[in-house]
Amino acid sequence: MHRTGPIVELVSTISDAAETIQQLDTSQLVKHLVAAIGADSVKSGRLDQHLYAKDASVLRGTSSVVTLPRCTADVQAIVRTCTANGFSFVARGSGTGLAGGAVPLDNAVIIATARMNAVEEVDVENGFAWVQPGVLNLDLSRALLPYGRHFAPDPSSQQACSIGGNVANNSGGPHCLAYGVTSAHVLAIEVVMADGETVMLGGLDAEPSGYDLRGLFVGSEGTLGVATRIAVRLTPNPPIVKTLLLDFVQPNDGAATVSSIIAAGVVPAALEMMDQRAVEVVEAFANAGYPTDAGAVLLVELDGMADGVAADVETVRRVAHANSVRSVRVAADDAERDLLWKGRRNAFGAVARLKPDYYLHDTVVPRTKLQEVLEKVYEIADRYELLAVNVFHAGDGNLHPILAYDSREPGVMDRVHAAGAEIVKASLDAGGVLSGEHGIGLEKRDYMPLMFTSADLAEQDRVRSVFDPADSANPMKVIPSGSRCGDFAGHTGSGHTIPEGAWV
Amino acid sequence: MTAVEHESVVAAFAEEIGRSDPVAVVGAKTQWLVGGEPAEGVRLVRAPAGIISYEPAEMTVKVRAGTTIGSLNEELGQHRQMVPFDVDDRSATVGGVLSVGRSGIRRRRYGHIRDFVLQATYVNAVGDVISAGGPTVKNVSGYDLCRLMVGSLGTLGLIAEVVLRCVPVPTASRWFTYDGDPRNLDASLFQASSILWNGDTTWVLLEGHEADVESQAGKCGLQPTEGAPLVPKHGRLSKRPSDLYGLTGDFLAEIGVGVVHVGVGHLETSGAVEQTGARHLHRAVKERMDPKNRLNPGRCPIL
Ligand SMILES: Cc1cc2nc3c(=O)[nH]c(=O)nc-3n(C[C@H](O)[C@H](O)[C@H](O)COP(=O)(O)OP(=O)(O)OC[C@H]3O[C@@H](n4cnc5c(N)ncnc54)[C@H](O)[C@@H]3O)c2cc1C
């Protein structure tokens, strides 16, 4: 497609001349898009191009035109216009992604779903709701509240992130420990494919025929098409919820408690850990009564029926005491519980008290290796003179090391990236994986060979190419460019413009 | 066995599968006819068996595809863990159950069996060993090809081994019957493991803490009973939960899930609904991944 076309090559070689040509070409594209979906849904000003050129990562790309579709037909029209004019496209929810998934490369057209934000139908008996992709995660659970149901995946960014983004990234959240990540909560997806056709993946009956293309689409980071309607599974709200705050002097006692709770046969609804620095900044922000002198705290949530929850609370207490817990606080009411969670959910923002900028990592290690890898993280951060803060989904071994820094320091980004690379490698060495929930996107694309063989990657790309043979849906993400097999026509792998800050 | 020896088991399986002639994989033949019998004369292979590693504190197990569900759950049971793959015949194999992709009667509580697969290692149509997913309980690295394998009837790749997520064995597990409308239970029971209805009687499986099981049963007027009802085996329908109440004849419906097990003589015998407008895509996936149609020829998971 256009990635190997003359325009792109010009852009990457003689930038000034390319600018003029690109400008011309974009104006044609804008004209076609305006004709297709109306002027108020097409934005091509410099400010819009700038705003939509990045997500919540440090990566920045270049967008050409930003579109704001209102319905599936709009998305189809946009996609068709893009392909007819040799442009690729990038679906975008709220731009809270941390792996550069929504960062446009090669002047891709942005398809922002913000206006497609209706909860179309709630069907309690059949346990689903049809939602448009731009519905925000927390808005969905609020809409389901009157029915005594919720959408289980609850990323810490839930006030801002969209269901479309959740589906594309197979997002998780604190409560995914017991309830499972997004894939387990999506029944069907209406997708506009790269050729502009609409298909339904999955279905509302118990066992839809065919391959589980729904499961393949979830987590595909916008590279298989644009999700335009999603049937999410409804989860009944648990009758009883207990939230415990465990306070440890020694961080390793906290980590040992995590795997001991699981080994004791209790799978909490959520099991989160914060290290000392995290507790300090969170408490300064939330005033929730977190013990600021603790070496580590665990936030444990147990839910279900009354007696089972009571028994689990006792098991957690027993395990924690066996691991030298200093105190166990059980939230007395919803207000106290909300306060504790408010601290946890705003932990990333609260890091701003330490340094103006932060880089949030995401890897998974076996739960039994948590302490070992955490120590490694501190050692790496020290060596690169960065501040490491850890607040993460400990129950499933999902580390979120935060490297806090000040971007005004010269050369600091090089240190941040080098430290990040070492953290990723340390996680893999411990038997872990590249990403637990933020995705591969651009950020970790070129680390994929650390986890997969070339045959594995060729297989992934083979499947991807069935959906998008011309590589126009969010191109150059997830799979490193060298993974193409000989049998894929049209991919020369040249003409890529990799944005600054990408780990290549 | 060392890691190298483990790899050689997979390599030997790949070798046996080869790179060109038609081949089908056989497990315990407990669901052999689902999706059609393999073409006549096709060479049969068996996946290797055995548990490779089990980490109770991780609640994960790495197991070869030819391992029986019975022996797997026996091992996990020693640590009060299990994989809720409810099969009628304990000799069914892990690979077979996943390739067919039908969840057991406790899906209402534990979810679809596909959500238990963390990593899958399989041999593809050209004989390459492919690994997808990851060994940890959470992972979003790359495309989720594991999901694609579940329910594919071995038409995209032959599974050699998988890493599965386990769950704790509930402390109490008890069957009850109920005379009223099953819809009442669907609404009022929290996380019932199974609600089965034959148009007349409702069977309910409650699992969890002893006292919760008792109090839920008491509250809803459930009567204790011996165990699960006999599940008709002749056919299997796929419906929406709300579409179960007009059923007649010999059937047992999974309330809240939509799977219907039907007996001989039932008017409908299969009823899976197409993923609308996506048939060409399913075909294209198959053609791309197995262009010569050599993996389990004759079987077809597509309507
Ligand atoms: C402070 C903070 C905390 C976070 N906490 C968590 C957490 O706890 N758990 C977690 O999993 N993530 C977390 N995230 C990451 C992020 O919020 C999630 O990945 C989220 O799901 C992204 O949603 P979005 O709407 O912002 O998507 P975007 O960033 O806009 O897009 C993400 C990807 O989805 C694709 N996409 C978006 N919409 C569609 C669509 N309709 N069809 C196809 N593809 C689409 C994009 O192309 C891109 O590849 C956090 C982020 C921040 C900033």
Which residues does A255 contact at the CB level (< 8 Å), separation at least 6? Answer: A273, A296, A370, A371, A374, A394
Tokens of A25: 């070409």
The verdict on the CB of residue A134 being under 6 Å from ligand 1 is: no
Domains of chain A, each with CATH number or no CATH: 26-112 (3.30.43.10), 119-236 (3.30.465.10), 240-348 (3.30.70.2190), 354-429 (3.30.70.2740), 451-504 (no CATH)
Task: Give the tens place of pLDDT for each residue, A120-151.
Answer: 999 999 999 999 999 999 999 999 999 999 99
Rounded to whole angstroms, the Cα distance separating B86 from B103 reads: 7
* Residue among A103, A157, A360 whose CB has most ligand 1 atoms within 8 A, to mutate: A157
pLDDT > 90? residue B215: yes
> Within this chain, do residues B235 and B116 fall inside the same structural domain, yes or no?
no
* Structure confidence at residue B272 (pLDDT): 60
Q: Is residue B85 assigned to a domain?
A: yes
Closest CA to A323 of A370, A384, A270, A258: A258
* Structure confidence at residue A2 (pLDDT): 36
> Within this chain, do residues B161 and B184 fall inside the same structural domain, yes or no?
no
> Within this chain, do residues B104 and B132 fall inside the same structural domain, yes or no?
yes
Lowest mean pLDDT among A164-173, A311-320, A341-350: A341-350
Average pLDDT (B26-37) is 90
Q: At what angle do helices A306-322 and B210-220 cross, to 10 degrees?
A: 170
- Closest ligand 1 atom to residue A348 Cα is 1
> Within this chain, do residues B244 and B130 fall inside the same structural domain, yes or no?
no
Could you list the residue range(s) of the whole structural domain that residue B48 is in?
Answer: 3-168
| Lookup result for tokens 């002027």 | A39
Closest CA to B26 of B89, B85, B121, B92: B92
pLDDT band at A349 (very low <50, low <70, confident <90, very high): confident
**Domain containing residue B123: CATH number:** 3.30.465.10
CB atoms within 10 A of CB B244: 23
Rounded to whole angstroms, the Cα distance separating A324 from A59 reads: 43
Q: Are the C-beta atoms of A217 and A313 separated by less than 8 Å?
A: no
pLDDT band at B5 (very low <50, low <70, confident <90, very high): confident
d(CA A171, nearest CA chain B) in Å: 8
Residues of A in Cβ contact (< 8 Å) with B288: 462-463, 465-466
pTM flag (> 0.90): yes
Indicate the average pLDDT of chain A. Answer: 91
Closest CA to B193 of B86, B46, B68: B86
CB contacts < 8 Å between A and B, how many? 268
CB atoms A211 and B216 under 8 Å: no
* Structure confidence at residue B273 (pLDDT): 62
> Within this chain, do residues B33 and B108 fall inside the same structural domain, yes or no?
yes
> Within this chain, do residues B154 and B25 fall inside the same structural domain, yes or no?
yes
pLDDT > 80? residue A271: yes
d(CA B142, nearest CA chain A) in Å: 6
CB atoms B56 and A212 under 8 Å: no
> Within this chain, do residues B28 and B163 fall inside the same structural domain, yes or no?
yes
Chain A interface includes B300 (CB < 8 A): no
Give the rounded percent of residues in chain B with a pLDDT score beyond 70: 96
pLDDT > 90? residue A288: yes
Average pLDDT (A456-463) is 98
Residues 115-174 of A with CB under 8 A from B: 123, 125-127, 169-170, 172
Task: Give the tens place of pLDDT for each residue, A227-259.
Answer: 999 999 999 999 999 999 999 999 999 999 999
Give the rounded percent of residues in chain A with a pLDDT score beyond 70: 91
CB atoms B275 and A216 under 8 Å: no
CB atoms within 10 A of CB A408: 8
Q: Mind giving me the DSSP string for A390-406? A: EEEBGGGTEE-EEEEE-
> Within this chain, do residues B176 and B243 fall inside the same structural domain, yes or no?
yes
pLDDT band at A502 (very low <50, low <70, confident <90, very high): very low
The verdict on the CB of residue A234 being under 6 Å from ligand 1 is: no
pLDDT > 90? residue A456: yes
* Structure confidence at residue A19 (pLDDT): 46
* Structure confidence at residue A484 (pLDDT): 58
Q: Starting at the earlier edge strand, list the strands of the sheet with B223-224.
A: B223-224, B172-178, B202-208, B194-197, B251-254, B259-262, B235-238
pLDDT > 90? residue B1: no
Suggest the residue from B19, B139, B209 to mutate for an interface test with chain A (most A CBs closer than 10 A).
B139
Q: How far is the CA of A133 from the centre of ligand 1 (A)?
A: 12
Q: Is residue B300 assigned to a domain?
A: no
Average pLDDT (A304-320) is 97
Task: Give the tens place of pLDDT for each residue, A384-427.
Answer: 999 999 999 999 999 999 999 999 999 999 999 999 999 999 99
Cβ burial, residue B3 (10 Å; 0-12/13-18/19+): exposed
* Structure confidence at residue A20 (pLDDT): 44
Give the rounded percent of residues in chain A with a pLDDT score beyond 90: 87
Give the rounded percent of residues in chain B with a pLDDT score beyond 90: 87
> Within this chain, do residues B258 and B120 fall inside the same structural domain, yes or no?
no
Chain A interface includes B210 (CB < 8 A): yes
Average pLDDT (B174-203) is 94
Helix extents (H) in A323-402: 334-345, 347-350, 370-383
Domain count within chain B: 2
> Within this chain, do residues B149 and B29 fall inside the same structural domain, yes or no?
yes
- Tell me the CA distances in angstroms from B129 to A111, A455, A478, B13, one per residue in order: 37, 8, 21, 9
* Structure confidence at residue A79 (pLDDT): 98
CB atoms B115 and A206 under 8 Å: no
